[in-house]
Amino acid sequence: MTTTENKTLDILAIKSLLPHRYPLLLVDRVLTWESGKTITAIKNVTVNEEFFQGHFPHKPVMPGVLMIEALAQTAALLSFLTMGVKPDENSVVYFVGIDNARFKRPVEPGDQLKMDVEILRVSRGIWKYKAIGTVDGKVALEAELMCTIRSAQDASQSAAQSTSQPAGQ
């Protein structure tokens, strides 16, 4: 799948690359991507989203943590497209860190969150990205994200080892 051509992905292609499903699938369409470099995707924000019932009923606002998650899902798509692989049921993408997260404006029902993610570097299995979310050309949020891709078995073994080891060992 390595290419320098711009490509788009519809929701079916996105679902083939991400394990997330409703209500946590937060990418509706990929507008363009370039392997090893950048991706631009969108999330159409509608009043029908479950989180708006409680956040906040009198003034619906998309939670910041879900906006960060949407950026992370976009970053994961870019990673899988860059590697030229489709994850299987054993692939898990984990956050390693979020730096310099800033929220500049609320995202509300009717908005279209445009997500631009750029790979800054890949080192020892850790992917670092610069991610920006905009609405109508205005920055809504930005952050640097770090993720790693592991097999579910490796992740389970790491979790088991960390819970079975006393602190300091």
Active site residues: 55
DSSP 9: B
Peptide bond into 56 cis (omega under 30): yes
Amino acid in the structure at residue 91 = S
Three-state secondary-structure class, residue 155: helix
Distance, in Å, from the CA atom of 72 to the CA atom of 146, rounded to the nearest integer, reads 9
Distance, in Å, from the CA atom of 53 to the CA atom of 60, rounded to the nearest integer, reads 8
Distance, in Å, from the CA atom of 88 to the CA atom of 67, rounded to the nearest integer, reads 25
Residue of 51, 54, 52, 28 lying closest to 41 (CA atoms) = 28
Peptide bond into 23 cis (omega under 30): yes
